Structure 1
Amino acid sequence: MTERRRNATRMEIADEAVRLFVLQGVTATTAEDIASAAGVSTRTLWRYFRSKEECVRPLLAAGIELATERLRAYWRGDGSFAHAISSFDDPGTVAAQPIEALRDLVRLSREEPGLRAVWLESHFDAEEVFAGVIAEGTGRSAHDLTVRLEAGMLNAALRVAVEDWAGQPANPQGPPLGETLAAALLLVAQLFETGSAEIPAGGRMLRLPAIGPAATGDSPVRRITD
């Protein structure tokens, strides 16, 4: 089985898991139910996932991978940080994601500890990925405190934005996911554009370098609102 087919199978399992969790509840849904709905054997399901709740992880990974691609493209020089942010509001980009399943999953994670654990663990893993992207783009170590703080800000902005979007009524008049993500990241960009900041850290001063276009005088706030 090719890697593409394996990824497709994992996503099919994730879609069916969320559908069944919404339809009959997490407790009442078994791994056998999910495997049957996805057209795979229970043995195959356990080969991919550690628990029935873990089956939803591909839905979360897809969004994190999208964010990583946009951020890495910015540091490769393919566009400004503002452009990376505005790309989250691209209808074509967001349309390619399993939007309604993601909304249902994030809503369920509020009440279901098992799903909440998967949601938070996914973002815990994402923070390390974002730190790697920032370090790669700025020539610093992924273990630097400032890099980890910057990655944490990006990660928190994305997580809170998705949770806020999922909590809104699902109707055409509601704010789309891409717009919500772009607005949250714009707030982060406003922090990055200020250049460097000094904060006290255990009796010494810690300088936080700007990771965005501010270092060259290119304001992401101006660029995105022009």
Structure 2
Amino acid sequence: MSGGGQRVATGRQAGRPPQTEQQKAAIRREIARQAVRLFLAKGVAATSAEEIAAAVGISVRSLWRHFPNKEHCVMPLLSEPLAVTAEALRRWRPGGDADELFEAMVRQTADAIAADRMGADIPALLDLVRLTRTEPGLRLVWIHSVDDAEPVIADALAGRAGLPAPDLAIRVYAAAFNGALRAAMEHYAFTTEPAEADPDGLRATVRDAMVIAARGLS
């Protein structure tokens, strides 16, 4: 793999068993990382699917099995933070305050990093959010991911409240949490120089945003 990383072995050979879901997820994450690296260096328009595939060590045909177009190659960077947030909301004790919610998010993030699902992706995620300011295709993917996140958050909050489905209040709270997460990500990415960005700083910003959103809900 170019860029100093480790090439992901993905080729299928005769008699080799099919890839597991875990292996497929690892490939998708590596595609996302390499896509952002190339987009950052060259821009989306100047980056070809062939270059992304070559950076990962797969064929273009394999790339298209995972994603419909090159802009969507970044989606795995957006889906894992959503999964972490949703699980933390499910585990948030009814009546608990915003600090308990944040601690649940910290634990879920630590689990994701330990499982190699998120830690290496934080710098790439911040680079991606910065790119959304200048790359319309990536901006569209980012907005769609935010839209897709809201019902997931609403379902998690409904489960916490013991409801079979989100009611209007839950949907409003979900919109507040979703907006807080987006605002925190964009604020940190847009106001922090890449060389100075660090996971602790991002977590602190997310915590502040979640505390604001959680006021009145706990």
Match of 1:198 in 2: none
| More displaced 10-residue stretch of structure 1: 166-175 or 108-117 | 166-175
Q: Superposed, which structure 2 residues align to 1:7-156 within 5 Å?
A: 7-75=25-93, 81-88=98-105, 92=110, 96-97=118-119, 98-156=121-179
Percent identity reads 41
Structure 1 unpaired stretches of 5+ = 193-211, 213-226
In structure 1, what is the Cα distance between the partners aligned to 2:147 and 2:41?
28
Match of 2:215 in 1: 190
Q: CA deviation at 1:170?
A: 2.9
In structure 2, what is the Cα distance between the partners aligned to 1:123 and 1:72?
19
Whether the 8 Å CA contact 1:141–1:147 is kept in 2: the answer is no
Structure 2 unpaired stretches of 5+ = 1-18
Q: How many residue pairs align between the two structures?
A: 191
Q: CA deviation at 1:86?
A: 3.4
The letter of the residue matching 2:101 is: A
The structure number with the bigger radius of gyration is 1
Name the TM-score, length of structure 1 as normaliser: 0.77
Whether the 8 Å CA contact 2:90–2:156 is kept in 1: the answer is yes
Structure 2 residue matching 1:142: 3-state secondary structure: coil
Change (3 A) 1:182 1:89: farther
2:186 aligned with 1:169, yes or no?
no
Q: CA deviation at 1:99?
A: 1.3
Whether the 8 Å CA contact 1:68–1:130 is kept in 2: the answer is yes
In structure 2, what is the Cα distance between the partners aligned to 1:141 and 1:6?
32
Whether the 8 Å CA contact 1:70–1:87 is kept in 2: the answer is yes
Whether the 8 Å CA contact 1:158–1:184 is kept in 2: the answer is yes
Match of 1:199 in 2: none
Query: Cα RMSD between the aligned structures?
Result: 2.2
Whether the 8 Å CA contact 2:149–2:178 is kept in 1: the answer is yes
Change (3 A) 1:23 1:62: same
In structure 1, what is the Cα distance between the partners aligned to 2:106 and 2:189?
16
Q: CA deviation at 1:140?
A: 2.6
Q: Tell me which of 161, 165, 180 is aligned to 2:205.
A: 180
